[in-house]
C-alpha cells in the first residue's frame, strides 16, 4: 500500500539494489536456499588448533571476507574482540563482521574500523558506543540491520555469505561438539550460533571449557564444526544480564504493564494452550508477571512461552503456567539453569525461531506478544532502531519477527520520555510495520489498530480505556512540545534496515555529531 512505502533509493552504494518493503507477508512461497561449500574432514585429522591466529590461517581467511559472531554472551562476550584482534594481527583488511547483535563490550570494533581492518557490519541490534559511531558515519559502507529471523533467512538464502563463523562455545570437545548448557561461561541455548554453523563455509569453535569427547548434551554437532580453539576465557557470563533485560520499577511503566496484561486477558486468546512472548524491555518483563497472575487466577495452562527467556518466564514455567519453553537464547542465569534441568525447556535455532522463509517458524505459533517501542506513529509503525535524535540505539532483534507471527501484538510505551514524544506523527526509523501491530498501550490509554475492529470491541466490552492512535499522538505532542528533529542536515545512508523477508523497510542516515 502506498501509505506504508517510504521513499527509498533504488540502489544504495555499498548495499546494492533495493527491493522495497511492500507488505509483511508479500514474499513467501517457493524459495531457494544457497549452495553450500563444505570441507570434508579426513578420518584421523585433528580439529584442535593452538590459538585463534592459527584458526584464521587454517580457514584461509582473506581480505574482504565475511566473518560471523553470535551474541549469547551478550555484553559479556569476549570472543568477538579476541578474534578481531587476531584478524588485525594477521594484517587482514576490508573484513565484514556479520553479528547477530553487538553490545557496548564490542566498542573496540571502532578501532578496527578506523584502521581499515573492518569496513562492513551487519547486526540485528547494535548498542553502545559503536552504534553512535555508526550514526556519525564511521563506516563508508552502510551497516546491514536485519531481524533475528531475517538474519537466518539471508544466511540460508545465500544473500549473506559467511566465510568463517566464530562460535563462542561454553563447552566443546576436540572434535567440535558444542553445548551452551554447561561450562564456565554457560549461556544456555546456542540458537543463533546453530544458524551460523549451518550456513558458513568454515566454522571455528572457541571455548574455555574443552572436555573429553563427546561433549554431551550436544547442541551443535561435530559435523558442523571445522576447528576448535581453547582460550583462557570466552567472556564474562555475569554480563549476560545486561541493559534491556532488567525488570522495571517505574510506577508508570508498571501501570502500562498491568494494562497490557489486561488487554491480553480480554483478547479472547487467554485460554488453555495460550502462547506468549515478551521482548526484553523492562515493561514487557513486568507485564509477564501481571499476565502470570491472571493465568493463575483463571486456571489457564499455556502451551509455551518463546523468545529470549528470562527469570520471570522461567517462574511461570516452573509454576506450570506453560508446558514448554522455546528458547533461542537465555537472557539471564535463571534461564540458563532452567534450560539445563528441564527437558521441556527446548532450544531452537534462529531459523526455527523466526525465519519467515522456512516451513513454519515458532513466532507463527505465538498468540500474544508484548513488545516495547522507542517510537510508534499514527500508522502503528514502530521504531526500535534509532532514538528521536536519529542515533542508532538498538534494532529489531526479534521485534519485527514476533509482531508478524503473533496473533496479537501489543506495543507498550509511555506517551513521552522527558521532552520527547514517543507516540509520534511518523517514526524516525521504521523497524516494525504497523500492519503487524494490533494495539498500543500507553500511560494515556489504549489504541487499537483500526484493522482490528473485533479486538477493539472485546477490549471495550472488558471496560478497558480505549482511545485512538491520533488522540495518543496529539496528547503526546502536548506533553512533549519539542518539534520533530530537523532531518534536513542528515547525511548519507549509514544503515539499511531490512525487513525479515529481505526487503528494505527503511534506512538510517548519518546525523551530525553534537
Rounded to the nearest whole angstrom, what is the least distance from the CB of residue 415 to its own copies in the complex?
30
Binding status of residue 299 toward its own copies by CB under 8 A: no
Q: Out of 35, 249, 461, 488, point to the residue binding its own copies (CB under 8 A).
A: 35
Rounded to the nearest whole angstrom, what is the least distance from the CB of residue 168 to its own copies in the complex?
18
Q: What is the DSSP string of 251-300?
A: HHHHHHHHHHHHHHHHTT--STT-EEEE-SSHHHHHHHHHHHHHHHHHT-
Binding status of residue 363 toward its own copies by CB under 8 A: yes
CA 415, 416, 421: angle at the middle one, nearest 5?
A: 100
Q: Which is nearer to its own copies, 134 or 361 (CB)?
A: 361
Q: Which is nearer to its own copies, 27 or 310 (CB)?
A: 27
b/e map 184-207, b = 16+ CB within 10 Å: ebbbbbbbbbbbbbbbbbbbbbbb
Q: Strand, coil or helix: what is 102?
A: strand
* Cβ–Cβ < 8 Å for 333, 308: no
Q: Which is nearer to its own copies, 217 or 491 (CB)?
A: 217
Say if strands 66-69 and 275-278 run parallel, antiparallel, or are unpaired. unpaired
Q: Which is nearer to its own copies, 359 or 486 (CB)?
A: 359
**Whole-angstrom Cα distance, residue 196 to residue 152?**
8
Angstrom CA distances, 187 to 69, 136, 181, stand at 15, 33, 6
Binding status of residue 418 toward its own copies by CB under 8 A: no
Q: Out of 12, 324, 417, 479, point to the residue binding its own copies (CB under 8 A).
A: 324
**Length in residues, the chain:** 514
Binding status of residue 31 toward its own copies by CB under 8 A: yes
**Whole-angstrom Cα distance, residue 502 to residue 99?**
16
Angstrom CA distances, 472 to 380, 441, 446, stand at 11, 10, 8
Binding status of residue 19 toward its own copies by CB under 8 A: no
Interface region with its own copies, contact rule CB under 8 A, candidates 32-40, 76-84, 136-144, 276-284: 32-40
Q: Which is nearer to its own copies, 216 or 252 (CB)?
A: 216
Q: Out of 358, 467, 468, 474, point to the residue binding its own copies (CB under 8 A).
A: 358
Rounded to the nearest whole angstrom, what is the least distance from the CB of residue 362 to its own copies in the complex?
7
CA 357, 101, 226: angle at the middle one, nearest 5?
A: 75
Binding status of residue 405 toward its own copies by CB under 8 A: yes
Binding status of residue 268 toward its own copies by CB under 8 A: no
Interface region with its own copies, contact rule CB under 8 A, candidates 7-15, 90-98, 115-123, 342-350: 342-350
Q: Out of 16, 39, 470, 487, point to the residue binding its own copies (CB under 8 A).
A: 39
Binding status of residue 349 toward its own copies by CB under 8 A: yes
Size of the site for its own copies (CB under 8 A): 63
End-to-end CA distance of the chain: give it in Å, rounded: 37
Rounded to the nearest whole angstrom, what is the least distance from the CB of residue 143 to its own copies in the complex?
26
* Cβ–Cβ < 8 Å for 167, 70: yes
Q: Exposed, middle or buried, 129 (CB in 10 Å: 0-12/13-18/19+)? A: middle
Q: What would the grid cell of residue 158 be?
A: 545465500
Angle of helix 453-461 versus helix 251-266 axis, rounded to 10: 110
446-475: which residues touch its own copies (CB under 8 A)? none
Q: Out of 5, 9, 13, 33, point to the residue binding its own copies (CB under 8 A).
A: 33
Q: Out of 50, 212, 299, 463, point to the residue binding its own copies (CB under 8 A).
A: 212
Binding status of residue 180 toward its own copies by CB under 8 A: no
Q: Which is nearer to its own copies, 127 or 224 (CB)?
A: 224
Q: In sequence order, what are the residues at sequence separation of 6 or more whose Cβ sits closer than 8 angstroms to the Cβ of residue 359? A: none
Interface region with its own copies, contact rule CB under 8 A, candidates 96-104, 118-126, 331-339, 355-363: 355-363
Angstrom CA distances, 492 to 139, 186, 488, stand at 11, 41, 11
Binding status of residue 26 toward its own copies by CB under 8 A: no
Q: What would the grid cell of residue 156 be?
A: 540460508
Rounded to the nearest whole angstrom, what is the least distance from the CB of residue 225 to its own copies in the complex?
6
Binding status of residue 216 toward its own copies by CB under 8 A: yes
Q: Strand, coil or helix: what is 69?
A: strand
Q: Which is nearer to its own copies, 103 or 175 (CB)?
A: 175
Angstrom CA distances, 334 to 53, 117, 317, 339, 430, stand at 35, 38, 12, 9, 33
Q: Out of 19, 184, 293, 365, point to the residue binding its own copies (CB under 8 A).
A: 365
Q: Which is nearer to its own copies, 84 or 350 (CB)?
A: 350
Q: Out of 15, 21, 166, 224, point to the residue binding its own copies (CB under 8 A).
A: 224
Binding status of residue 280 toward its own copies by CB under 8 A: no
Q: Which is nearer to its own copies, 127 or 276 (CB)?
A: 276
Q: Out of 6, 18, 23, 34, point to the residue binding its own copies (CB under 8 A).
A: 34
**Whole-angstrom Cα distance, residue 370 to residue 368?**
7
Residues engaged in binding its own copies (CB under 8 A): 25, 28-45, 47, 175-176, 203, 212-214, 216-218, 221-226, 273, 275, 303-304, 323-324, 326, 343-344, 346, 348-349, 351-352, 355-365, 404-405, 407
Amino acid at each position: 500500500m502506498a501509505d506504508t512505502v517510504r521513499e527509498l533509493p533504488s540502489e544504495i552504494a555499498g548495499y546494492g539494489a533495493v527491493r522495497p518493503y511492500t507488505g509483511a507477508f508479500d514474499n513467501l512461497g517457493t524459495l531457494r536456499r544457497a549452495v553450500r561449500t563444505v570441507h570434508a574432514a579426513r578420518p584421523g585429522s585433528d580439529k584442535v588448533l593452538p590459538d585463534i591466529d592459527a584458526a584464521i590461517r587454517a580457514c584461509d581467511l582473506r581480505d574482504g571476507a565475511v566473518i560471523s559472531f553470535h551474541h549469547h554472551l551478550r555484553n559479556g562476550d569476549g570472543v568477538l574482540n579476541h578474534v578481531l584482534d587476531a584478524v588485525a594481527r594477521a594484517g587482514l583488511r576490508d573484513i565484514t563482521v556479520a553479528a547477530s547483535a553487538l553490545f557496548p563490550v564490542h566498542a573496540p570494533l571502532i578501532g578496527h574500523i578506523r584502521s581499515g581492518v573492518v569496513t562492513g557490519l551487519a547486526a540485528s541490534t547494535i548498542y553502545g558506543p559503536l552504534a553512535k559511531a555508526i550514526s556519525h558515519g564511521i563506516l563508508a559502507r552502510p551497516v546491514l540491520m536485519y531481524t533475528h529471523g531475517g538474519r537466518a533467512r539471508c544466511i540460508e538464502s545465500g544473500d549473506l555469505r559467511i566465510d568463517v563463523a566464530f562460535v563462542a562455545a561454553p563447552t566443546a570437545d576436540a572434535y567440535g561438539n558444542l553445548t551452551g548448557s554447561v561450562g564456565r561461561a554457560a549461556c544456555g541455548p546456542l540458537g543463533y550460533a546453530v544458524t551460523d554453523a549451518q550456513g558458513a563455509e568454515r566454522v571455528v569453535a572457541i571455548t574455555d571449557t574443552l572436555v573429553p569427547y563427546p561433549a554431551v548434551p550436544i547442541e551443535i554437532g561435530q559435523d558442523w564444526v571445522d576447528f576448535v580453539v581453547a582460550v583462557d576465557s570466552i567472556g564474562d557470563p555475569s554480563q549476560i544480564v545486561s541493559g534491556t533485560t532488567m525488570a522495571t520499577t517505574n510506577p508508570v511503566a508498571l501501570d502500562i504493564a498491568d494494562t497490557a496484561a489486561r488487554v491480553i486477558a480480554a483478547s479472547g486468546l487467554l485460554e488453555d494452550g495460550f502462547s506468549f512472548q515478551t521482548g526484553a524491555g523492562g515493561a514487557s518483563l513486568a507485564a509477564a508477571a501481571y499476565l502470570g497472575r491472571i493465568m493463575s487466577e483463571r486456571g489457564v495452562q499455556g502451551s509455551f512461552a518463546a523468545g529470549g527467556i528470562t527469570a520471570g518466564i522461567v517462574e511461570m514455567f516452573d509454576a506450570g503456567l506453560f508446558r514448554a519453553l522455546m528458547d533461542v537464547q537465555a537472557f539471564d542465569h535463571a534461564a540458563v539453569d532452567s534450560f539445563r534441568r528441564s527437558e521441556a525447556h527446548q532450544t531452537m535455532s534462529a531459523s526455527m525461531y523466526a525465519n519467515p522463509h522456512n516451513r513454519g517458524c515458532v513466532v507463527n505459533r505465538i498468540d500474544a506478544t508484548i513488545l516495547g517501542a522507542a517510537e510508534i506513529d499514527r500508522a502503528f509503525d514502530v521504531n526500535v532502531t534509532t532514538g528521536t535524535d536519529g542515533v542508532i540505539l538498538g534494532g529489531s532483534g526479534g521485534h519485527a519477527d514476533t509482531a508478524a507471527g503473533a496473533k496479537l501484538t501489543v506495543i507498550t510505551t509511555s506517551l513521552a520520555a522527558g521532552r520527547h514524544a514517543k507516540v509520534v506523527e511518523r517514526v524516525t526509523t521504521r523497524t516494525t510495520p504497523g500492519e503487524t501491530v494490533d494495539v498500543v498501550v500507553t500511560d494515556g490509554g489504549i489504541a487499537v489498530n483500526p484493522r482490528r475492529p473485533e479486538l477493539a470491541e472485546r477490549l471495550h466490552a472488558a471496560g478497558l480505556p480505549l482511545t485512538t492512535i491520533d488522540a495518543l499522538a496529539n496528547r503526546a505532542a502536548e506533553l512533549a512540545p519539542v518539534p520533530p528533529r530537523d532531518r534536513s542536515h542528515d547525511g548519507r545512508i549509514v544503515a539499511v534496515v531490512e525487513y525479515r523477508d529481505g526487503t528494505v523497510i527503511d534506512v538510517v542516515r548519518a546525523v551530525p555529531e553534537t
